[in-house]
Amino acid sequence: MPHRSGAPSSRAPYAQVGLGPGLCRLDSTGRRALPAGRPGTFVIVATRGLCKRYGRQTALEEVDLAIPAGGVYGLVGRNGAGKTTLLAILAGLRHPTSGAVELAVPRGQVGVCLDVPEFEPWLTAREVIDLAAAMTSAALPGSAGADLLGDAGLADAADRRVGGFSRGMRQRLALAATVVGSPKVLLLDEPCSALDPAGRADVLDLMVRLAENATVVFSTHVLADVERVCDTVGILHAGSLIYQGGLERLLSEHHHPAWRIRVRGAPEPVAERLRAEPWTASAECLPEGHIRLEAVSSSAAEAGLADALARAGARLVAVEPEAPDLEEVFLDLTAPVRIPT
């Protein structure tokens, strides 16, 4: 069964372990309020100096996480980087060896789904949702339960017993059960791992919709998924958080602006002229009249490229900017693998 990470508290406005100055405070209605000191920064989940060791194995090392409220936060890392451990600690399911977790919402407002859960096989999907509502004291008025199953792509399977569900169907059901009661924070460990491409696209779209009213944190190996839905990315490498911030910043800091240019006739003379431009880093000829142009500055290249091509007498067929490649950036940042001691 997916988890709600604690009973809702009617007393404490925040489940907090020493909220830091950058932390956003949500009032009991879940409305955001400006934190003192750093207007505009709304951090809903944070960790300070988080370490986790399993015996002699270090899983997390001094992780300072800051998850902005709202939007989708993607936690990426190679196998064994520490993603599951981090999510489990955020959810209160594992204890850190040292360091602190800070939540700006009550623990009962944190929905957790780790891995592909098992359900009692004789329950129907609808009963699983009802059970999740009963366990979290959430009201499911009218068609709310059916709507959740519909959003997860299980409308037709609502009255089927889950013992006959595929792994992908169980993953969808887990997600539906996790969002019962509209938690303000959703922690999802590889929520698409068992899904086919269409199912993956559905669930990613659902996560984006959920992020309109909640903060969605999910771990994945699939960088295309990160590019598709994430506002913020955290890269874990051998237990350390080596990057945290916007996807655009990550790509712009680590990706050189580049274009694919296709000309009619021989590309070499055109490439030669392009190499003479002060904003050109490299101009490499590729098969079939293509040139790969890499620039030192995208704005200078954008301003000068048309002129440079005209001066080169290029018979232009196409010019296309190269999309920043997150995979390349990720592999670059996470190599070589550091073995934790």
Ligand X SMILES: Nc1ncnc2c1ncn2[C@@H]1O[C@H](COP(=O)(O)OP(=O)(O)OP(=O)(O)O)[C@@H](O)[C@H]1O
CB atoms within 10 A of CB 310: 10
Region from 7-15, 83-91, 292-300, 331-339 binding ligand X, contact rule CB under 6 A: 83-91
Among the listed ranges 13-21, 75-83, 99-107, 259-267, the one in contact with ligand X (CB under 6 A) is 75-83
233 binds ligand X (CB under 6 A): no
Window of 76-84, 193-201, 222-230, 265-273 that interacts with ligand X by CB under 6 A: 76-84
- Cβ contact 172:199 at 8 Å: yes
The residues facing 85 across adjacent strands are none
3-state SS class at 20: coil
Using only the alpha carbons of the chain, give its radius of gyration: 24
Using the minimum distance from each CB to ligand X, give the nearer residue, 236 or 258.
236
Q: Any idea what the Cα angle at residue 258 is, between residues 315 and 329, rounded to 5°? A: 155
Q: Find the distance separating the first CA and the last CA of the chain, reported in whole Å.
A: 35
* Residue 269 lies near ligand X (rule: CB under 6 A): no
10 scored as a contact of ligand X (CB under 6 A): no
Q: Which of 29, 31, 39, 79 contacts ligand X by CB under 6 A?
A: 79
Write out the binding residues for ligand X, residues 27-56 only, by CB under 6 A.
54
Q: Does the protein bind ligand X through residue 82 (CB under 6 A)?
A: yes
**Tokens 């880093």 map to which residue?**
281
Q: Does 267 bind ligand X (CB under 6 A)?
A: no
In whole angstroms, how close is the CB of 238 to ligand X at the nearest point? 8
Q: How many CB atoms lie within 10 A of CB 64?
A: 13
Structure tokens at 85: 């451990």
Nearest to 103 by CA among 54, 56, 65: 65
User: Which part of the chain contacts ligand X (CB under 6 A), choosing from 14-22, 80-88, 171-179, 279-287?
Assistant: 80-88
What is the contact surface with ligand X in residues (CB under 6 A)? 54, 57, 59, 77, 79-85
